Structures are given as structure tokens and as C-alpha cells.
Chains A and B, each alone.
With several copies, the nearest count.
Chain A
Amino acid sequence: MSMQLCDHADEAVADVEDGSTVLVGGFGMAGMPVELIDALIRQGATDLTVVSNNAGNGDTGLAALLAKGRVRKVVCSFPRQADSYVFDELYRAGKIDLEVVPQGNLAERMRAAGAGIGAFYCPTGAGTLLAEGKETRVIDGRTYVLEYPIKGDVALIGAHRADRMGNLVYRKTARNFGPVMATAATTVIAQVREVVDTGALDPEAVVTPGIFVDRVVQEADRA
């Protein structure tokens, strides 16, 4: 159904429920929907499962959400970074669960959720700790691990521009997880730098068609 253009990030995240699985875009800070995360912190939803490539940087964005104790579990490929001290402390104190997923599996499992794939056989991680307990199968002499979709209740993503139908374009490597997460959640909310008129985006260059996008909010510091 039609995309809803929100005046403020608070409006966009108002109905996120406790216990939700929230897909959070970005790779480091590139593509990170900081204003939506800040709004989610104000909104107060807790007991969240967050799916994101990293587990927060510094004291802002995802790290700030973690610091408030709102996140029960993080599903990510790379929690440990130079400035991931908020996560590190929570993890070492046993206050947060962690599921480490190879980065390609993270992306492909969300794609599967968005594409109606029930499960898929993947070579990544075969024979490693991260495949322990998972079903495997040898196909044409190669060992594959059975991986299941990761579906979100909500996706919070950052994009560059949106038109009024919710079509999105990204910019450079800030594209990263946004387009995949947009396919994999029940409610998809995009923070964009600019909202343009319908028809202003090149139809050949739209990366996320509006069908996937439920709400768009323009960044406050650009509005």
C-alpha cells in the first residue's frame, strides 16, 4: 500500500512494539539511520532483537540504543570494533545475547526472507564453529550448510533520496544492507536526505522500488 511520508522520525517509529526484531541498516556509520534510531530510543520499545552488520560505534546510534538496555540480542557479523565499547561491556557482563553470522549469510538470509525462499544451502562456514548444529548436505562434492531466512518486524534504513512513491536511491557504499533489509521486514522505514517529486528519479536507477517502503522521513538537519 502507499508509502506514508512522515514529518518527523518520532512519527515514523511510533508503533514499534516491545520484543520486535529490528533490522538496522548501515555498515559502520555509512547508511546508518541515526535519526530513526534516536527516535526509537525516545519511543522506548525494549526487549528488541537487532539485526545489523555491526553492534554499534561510539556512543551514538545503535550504541546508544544498546546502552539504554533496550536490546536483548544482537545478530551481526562483526560486533568487535575499535569503538564498540558499549556492546563489548554489555556482552562481557552477560547482559546481551550475540549471534555471530558470516556477513554474506546475514545478507543472503535477509534476501531469502524477502524473496520467499524457505531455506538455502550455502557453502560459507561449512566445517566451522558457526555451522555447528546446523544441517549440512553434500551437493556435487561440496559441503553446504542449510541456512534459514532472517525476517524483521521493522527495518530502519538510511537512503539518499526518496520520491513520493517511496522509490529509493542510495549513495556510494552507503547502499550496503539497505536494499536487502527493505525486502525483509513487515514495516520498512527509511530516513533520507531529500524527498523529491515523483518522476524525479531515473526509473533505471531506482534501487529500492516503493513497493518495499512503508514510511519515509527526511533527515531533520536537512528538512
Chain B
Amino acid sequence: MNQTSQLTPVQGPLGKNDIAALIARDIPQGAFVNLGIGQPTLVADHLPADSGVVLHTENGMLNMGPAARDGQVDPDLTNAGKVPVTELPGAAYFHHADSFAMMRGGHLDICVLGAFQVSTAGDLANWHTGAPDAIPAVGGAMDLAIGAKQVFVMMTLFTKDGTPKLVPECSYPLTGLGCVDRVYTDLAVFDITAEGISVRETFGTTVDDLATRLNLPLLPATG
């Protein structure tokens, strides 16, 4: 946190790598973390080498290393997105029931998930668009949403057509109720609190401007 001034770009909107860097900055030393499929995996690239952060992958591994390069690919060693990865010293393998017991039992410090929508109550929608022709696929998203001690969401704040993704109530099918703690976006970082949505930082915009565009009451940062 004391590195904020150094690392945080003040101009916005941020790119996905900038958002990933912000999230990496906020992950405490030695935390056990699950990075969801897709953009959240970028967070790993921004963790300092001495962070001591241990990555969990729900297909049964702790202390997962970076994506495998040429010559390192082992079909028996992939992440949850089926991407070949590597193993760090101190790794451990376990089966799926143990892996999800770990997740659901509240042992992960943080998970980072993508989202279609997050509500002011911290409801998360990230698994299903609800479109009639969509094939539903949930994977481990519901387990991560209810299991991790802290759930961080990484997303753009608006869809490409300008519709807010931080909303009074989710219109897409839910992944979990009241489970999101913090939302990292290209325009701001938000905390979901019992008092309402609090803005931690903004990037190239203001709290007032965001409140208007989102049509939501926003609280200033609480420090």
C-alpha cells in the first residue's frame, strides 16, 4: 500500500495489465491465492519475485509456477484453464475433493475472478449470460465465490456499449450472493462494504463523475 504513489498510474482508463498490477500490489506477502481463468491469470505476472504468494489451482495444486514455455510443456501439469504450467519448489498436489474442500472451507486468502456484473450488495454474476442459446458452464466459480476469505473482481467498469457492470442488482444469473469484497476496474477500484460502495481510487475520472455514469451512490475512500 505504501507503494501506491509509485505504482499506480493516475491516468485512465487502465489496460488489463495495469489492473492486474494493481491487484498484485494489494495481495499481502505470503498469501494463498487463486486466480480465475482468463484475465485474472495476468496478476501472476505482476507479483514480485519475493512476494511469497502461493498460487492455488483448483485442479489440485498449490505453489503453481508460471505458464510452461517451449520444452517445459507437460500434459499432466495444467492450470484450471487447461494451460500447461510449471511447478515451484514446495508445491503440493491433491485430488479434486481435497482441492475444493480447501476452497470451500475458507482456506484461500484471496481469489480473483472476472465478472459480467457485480451488485452493490456484492452479488457476483460471472458464469452465465442467461441467453437462451448459451450452454451453461459454471466450473469452479461458485465454489471460489463462496469460499475464499476475500473475493476480488477484475473487470472493465462498462461493457463495450457503455452499460455499467457495477449495478444495483444483477440481471444475469448469479454466481454467489454477497460474496465480492473488492472490484478492480479500468476506471476505479471499489470496496463493497456494509455501508455501500466505497471508491478506493479513480483513474482519469472522479467519484462524482462515476456516480453519475453508474447512477449509484458512491462513498469516498475510507482510508
Contact = CB atoms under 8 A, between A and B. Distances in A.
A183 B105 contact: yes
Interface residues of B, number: 61
A133 interface: no
Contact of A78 (B30, B97, B137, B146): B137
A211 B32 contact: yes
Interface string B118-154: 0000000000100001011111111100110000000
B57 A173 contact: yes
A161 interface: no
B144 to A, nearest CB: 9
Contacts of A81: 82, 137
Contacts of A80: 135-137
Contacts of B31: 1
B25 interface: no
A77 B137 contact: yes
A115 B56 CA distance: 16
Contact of A172 (B56, B93, B100, B143): B93
Contacts of A165: 54, 63, 90
B92 A206 contact: yes
A102 B30 contact: no
Given A114-B105, A116-B106, A207-B95, A176 B60 contact: yes
A180 B98 CA distance: 9
A110 interface: yes
A108 B146 contact: no
A158 B102 CA distance: 21
B95 A177 contact: yes
B147 A116 contact: yes
B143 A180 contact: no
Interface stretch (A5-13, A25-33, A61-69): A25-33
A29 B108 CA distance: 26
Contacts of A53: 96
Contacts of B104: 104, 108, 115-117, 122-124
Contact of A130 (B93, B101, B106, B142): B142
Contacts of B29: 1-2
A16 interface: no
Contact of A111 (B97, B109, B133, B177): B97
A176 B59 contact: yes
B176 A78 contact: no
B201 interface: no
B174 A30 contact: no
B75 interface: yes
Contacts of B59: 27, 30, 173, 176
Contacts of B136: 79-80, 98, 100, 129
Nearest to A111: B97
Interface string B75-92: 111110010000101111
A199 B137 contact: no
Contacts of B133: 92
Contacts of B109: 1
Given A30-B76, A104-B103, A130 B96 contact: no
Interface of A: 1-2, 27-31, 53, 77-81, 87-88, 91-92, 98, 100-108, 110-111, 113-117, 122-130, 143, 160, 163-165, 167, 170-180, 183, 198-199, 201, 203-204, 206-207, 209-212
Given A143-B177, A178-B95, A199-B90, 8 more contacts: A2-B30, A98-B135, A104-B140, A124-B143, A127-B174, A171-B76, A180-B97, A209-B102
